[in-house]
Structure 1
Amino acid sequence: MSRFFGEIRQAGYVVRDIEAAMDYWSRVLGVGPWFYNERVPIENYAYRGQTYEVHNSVALANSGPLQVELIQTRNDAPSMYRDFLAAGHTGLQHNAYWTTSFDTDLARLQEQGFKVAMSGEVGRNGRFVYFDTEDHPGTVIELSEIAGPKGKLFDMIYAASRDWDGREPVRRFPDLGTL
């Protein structure tokens, strides 16, 4: 466990073909079910101080308590994911730490010298930041707020993974407004 961040709660993989990646992880590795959103509704997105309209597809599943995230960029909006691919990488791009005290934790980490490179929101109480730590692939740090509907979604995904029998390997994200 990190003495700065706590437990790693999510491993985020940037992939070129999310459908093939979900198939591989579920069929070959036995991880699933995958909750898939072809276009994640990201609001207030910023990358290195500039705002953009992003189109990312995301799939989430759990392997035990660790959530696995698959990410495919679908447009040319600048992002750390796009930079990762442009550098010739695919695979593990970030580790995420979850918080219900986003503002407090963000301020503490910025006081320690961490600089935000990418940020946005996924629904109410779903803010996220990626710190400028990408000088070593796979060690980008995400701080993800899990209060409210986003936290409930993550709980549902974990619960679905515990008794998953291999059927229905890909499922749609529920509407966060209904959680």
Structure 2
Amino acid sequence: MDDKAKRLAKVLKLPKLGQLGIVVKDIEKTAKFYSDTFGLKPWFRAGLSDEEHNLGGKKRLDFDVDIVMAFSGKIQFELIRHVKGDRNIYLDHLEKHGEGLHHLGFFVSDFDKRMEALDKMGIGVLQSGVIKSVGKAGGSVTKYAYLDTVEIGGIIFELIQTKFVGVNIKMSRLWFELGNITGDLEKLKF
């Protein structure tokens, strides 16, 4: 392990893997394949009310994506389809590599602190943002950042922090079932 990788490991102290992010062209076809082949179901689609995305932490982006999620144990499978709008890392990945694994996601409770430490280390941010869901209970707020870790880790790492009414939550099937009741998520059948 080189020096930068050692420093990164020390700063990040990543929790266990929480998410596999997969870029796809056809959400329904892919979700059905994962359901039929691996028993991944149910799938959930977030009802998003407000999104802010930034390229490299600076340039504001305007784009729409369709995202559905399911769980295998504690691992969340996230299928992402670019719908329209500005160039972003999902569209770039699709054009350069085709469909497939895009990132490894890690759910954290101290997002801002970690981002400050990464900035001091010179670890770049490919894309970041804040996503708010809409629901009867006030919705949730998720901060995310895709880190420039391909050279040192072979893949993009994503840090994710979700709060519901100001309290950190770990994304889980239970939370998704509750989100379906509050209107924050839609339960799908493929």
Shared fold (TM-score, shorter chain, > 0.5): yes
Q: CA RMSD in A?
A: 3.0
Residues 8, 96 of structure 1: 8 Å contact kept: yes
Q: Secondary structure of the equivalent of 1:147?
A: strand
The one of 47, 58, 77 equivalent to 2:55 is 47
Moved runs in structure 1, 4+ residues, more than 3 A?
A: 39-42, 134-138, 149-153, 156-160, 171-177
In the alignment, structure 1 residue 34 sits paired with structure 2 residue 43:
yes
Give yes or no for contact 1:40–1:58 (8 Å, CA) kept in 2.
no
**1:99, 1:147 within 8 Å by CA — same for their partners in 2?**
no
Q: Deviations over 1:112-139 (max 9, x none)?
A: 3311110111125311111123459971
Conservation of the 8 A alpha-carbon contact between 2:15 and 2:108: no
Residue 65 to residue 29, structure 1, CA distance change in 2 (3 Å): same
Aligned equivalent of 1:105: 114
- In structure 1, what is the equivalent of residue 70 of structure 2? 61
1:86 aligns with 2:86: no
Say whether residues 1:16 and 2:25 are aligned partners. Answer: yes
Partner of 1:147: 163
Instruction: Please identify which structure carries the higher strand content.
Output: 2
TM-score normalised by the chain length of structure 2? 0.74
Please list every run of 5 or more consecutive structure 1 residues that lacks an aligned counterpart in the other structure: 161-170
Please tell me whether Structure 1 or Structure 2 has the larger radius of gyration of its CA atoms.
Answer: 2
Aligned-pair CA distance for 1:98: 0.9
Q: Which amino acid aligns with 1:16?
A: K
CA shift digits 1:23-80 (9 cap, x unpaired)? 111112111110024x744522111332121100001111011111000000141111
How far 1:173 moved relative to its partner? 9.0
Structure 1 residues 130-169: Cα deviation after superposition (integer angstroms, max 9, x where no partner): 1123459971111111232696582345776xxxxxxxxx
Mapped partners of 1:61, 1:36: distance in 2: 9
Q: Cα distance, 1:99 vs. partner?
A: 1.1
